[in-house]
Each structure stands twice: as structure tokens, then as C-alpha cells.
Amino acid sequence: MINGYAELSRMAFGYATSQILYTAVRLGVPDALAAGAMPIDELARSIGADPRALERLSRALVVLGVVDEVAPGHLALAALGQPLRADHPWSMRSSVLLLGDPATWQAWGALTHSVRTGEAAFDHVHDQPLFDYLAGHHDLSRIFNTAMCEGTERVALEAARAYDFTGARTVVDIGGGNGTLLAAILAATPSAQGILYDTADGVAAAAGTFQQAGLSDRCSVEVGDFFEAVPEGDLMLLKGVLHDWDDQRCTALLRNCRASIATGGRLLILEPVLPSRLDTPEAAGVVMSDIAMLIYTGGWERSRAEFHDLLAAGGFDLTDVTPPLRGSAIRILVADPS
């Protein structure tokens, strides 16, 4: 057999693994098994599936390590599959639903178009940019926003530990979704006030986030377009925003930040940084994210040098870059007004 054949076969079949997970989550298999083991026939009735077809799917889930067959015909959710539950504290449910959705899957199928042209595959497949498409498809928009929040939950506490927010008076989270990151920072900085700024869809769940964290009296929510203007503050956050856009759009956003930042203020960017070497621990995650940006928006992950030049064009000096946050490829880039 050709050396590496099995590994190449596994890679080539990767889309099948994604669809197996997506189907299990969409049918509600992890949530149905959350309370304990269940016979396949009973599970099929509870989720509205064909018993024979579900048995075949379950075999794949067992091989993947997501589900355990604890007795013949009886399934239990394995430790690996626990984050696929909707109620798991580190849930990946919406992330799996987003990646496996037909709109997303079809865009990945047009990667060849992106590589040939440099254009976003999503635009090519759906005849409109990602965020315009989401605005007209509210179910997918809700999944998208929840998936973004799932990713933020996994790094918010680490970000609050990695940077000293003491002294910040007004923290403005630009494009901050449901406020998960801002809530973690405000909890670590009792003297600060917060402003969450995003689209109406983006902030739809923010009030609940701040209420649950006991921060409703310290944080306001504003709706708007960050390419037009951003609220004033002395510490501004951009997490996972710049990699969505080309340099021209990013420069416009950064200039808006520069116009609204208080004297002595600071900008923090939380994004992966493309490493100079591809044998570093975080390289795989950054490279895959870079391909995703090519497909979804036409944006890209940037190197430290590219961030330096981009920030300079927007009126900022890059002063520091932290190591990757624990369990993530995301770094904090610190920038001061120039």
C-alpha cells in the first residue's frame, strides 16, 4: 500500500465526518442522550428518525468516539460528544450546525473558485456576501451569532487574565455579539463601564448575558455600523473582526476607532496571527481559519508585520503581541494611537 494512503484517505473523507456530526446534532442525538444511555429504537422514536438508518449513523458516531455502545443496541453520549449538547457550558452545538449547514457546505465546495480568482466562494455560490445573506436568513443568522459566541466563551476568561484592564474607564467592544467577552472583562475590572456595539441581530442576546452576569447597570448596548462610526471610549476591543475584511475596509474601521478613542486610550485586537513558521503548535488552526476567511468573506489572517502596517494606516502603533491564549490560537495585539 502507498505510504500515507490511510491518512490521505481520512483527510479526503473529512467532509463526511463533518456531515455525520452535523446530522447527529441537527436530529438532537446528543441532547436526547444527555440523561443517560438509551436503546436505539427508543432514541429513534424520540428524535423522529428511521431506526435502521439511525443504527447506521450511530456506528459512525461510535467509531468517531462521540457515542459509546454500552450494550448491544444501547447508546450513551461519550465524553468527547458532551460539548455537542445545547446545555453544555462549553457547547459546540451551533458551531457544528454552522459548519454543516448547506449554505456553508456549498461555499466550501467552491474553494477552487476562490483559489483561482481570489474572490470569496460564498459570494460566488450565493450571489451575495455572507453578512447580506445572513440578514435575509434569520435562522442561520441566529446559528452564526451563537457559534461566534461559543468561540468567544472559550477565550474570554483567558483574555481577561492575559491583559491587565486596570485603569480602563469605558471599554467599547466593537462587533462584540452577545457581550460574552465584554462581560468577562468587566467582571475582572469592577471600576470600568462597558459599551457593546454591533448590529441589531448581533446584540439580540446581549441583555441576557449582562443580566446573568450582574452587569446590566455597568454596560449599555448600541446598534450601528462600525464602518460609519464607533462609540467613544478609552479602551476599544476588536475580536475576530478585522480578519473578515480586506485592508481597505479594515483601515476605514481603524480610522473610526482612532477618531473616537480617548486621549491615552488603547486598542486591543484579538485574532490569530499568521506565524512565520508552520511547525508551531497554533499554525494549523490559523491556517485553517485563513482558508475559511477566503471562502466566507474574502478576508484573511494576517502576520505580525501585516498587522503593523494595517494599524499604521489606521492611525495606530502596534506595541505588543501576547503569546496565544491558552487553548486557542488567538493572540492579543496591543495598539496605541500614533
In this structure, are residues 56 and 38 in contact, taking their beta carbons and an 8 Å threshold?
no
In the chain, alpha helices (H)? 5-12, 14-27, 29-32, 40-47, 51-64, 93-100, 102-108, 111-117, 121-126, 130-136, 138-162, 180-188, 206-212, 247-260, 283-296, 304-314
Q: How far is CA 82 from the centre of its chain?
A: 19
CA triplet 216, 218, 178: central angle to 5 degrees? 55
Do residues 287 and 278 make contact, with C-beta atoms less than 8 angstroms apart?
A: yes
Question: How far apart are alpha carbons 172 and 161 in whole angstroms?
Answer: 18
The one catalytic residue in 113, 124, 243, 308 is: 243
Cell 449582562 appears where?
210
For residue 124, indicate whether it is catalytic.
no
Grid cell, residue 285, equals 488552526
State how far the Cα of 33 lies from the Cα of 142, in Å rounded to an integer.
24
Q: Name the DSSP class of 323.
A: P
The catalytic site residues sit at 243
